[in-house]
Structure 1
Amino acid sequence: MSKVCQITGKRTRVGNNVSHANNKTKRKFYPNLQKKKFFLESEGVWVELKVSTKAMRTINKKGLDATLVQAARKGTLSL
């Protein structure tokens, strides 16, 4: 499975390691993804999502239903 957040759409970014001598080598910045089970109250089922920690904070703040609707509207939701 790819390293993409199902809610926010965060994915792996590419950048450089820069040494003291200013040598640059390619590296990857991975998002902080976690597999987490959430209870979807409207359906009465548990849903397992691969989400970033920022998305977890958003779900805690807005609720799972509202966050899923917003992610579907944005086009980042992949179930």
Structure 2
Amino acid sequence: MAKVCQITKKKANNGYSISHSHVRTKKIQNVNLQTKRIWSSIKKRWIKLKISTKAIKSLHRIRV
């Protein structure tokens, strides 16, 4: 499975790693993905999702 959040569709970002002498090398900033079991009230069962930590925080905010 790709490194993409299943809720927010976030994916990797391209960036530069800059050394002390200011030499730039390309690097990939991956999304902080976690596998999480979430209760689906529609399907009445647990669903396993790969979601970002920001999506987990927003789920907690919505529920409370």
TM-based fold match above 0.5: yes
The structure carrying a bigger strand percent of its residues is 2
**TM-score of the aligned structures, taking structure 2 as reference length:** 0.90
Aligned residue-pair number: 63
CA RMSD of aligned residues (A): 1.0
**TM-score of the aligned structures, taking structure 1 as reference length:** 0.74
| Ranges in structure 2 where 5+ consecutive residues have no aligned partner | none
CA deviations 1:28-66 (Å, max 9, x no partner) are 101100011111123211111110000001111124xxx
Aligned-pair identity in percent equals 38
| Ranges in structure 1 where 5+ consecutive residues have no aligned partner | 64-79
Runs of 4+ displaced beyond 4 Å: none
Give the secondary structure class of the aligned counterpart of 1:58. helix
The structure carrying a bigger helix percent of its residues is 1
Distance 1:41 1:6 in 2: 18
Give the secondary structure class of the aligned counterpart of 1:15. strand
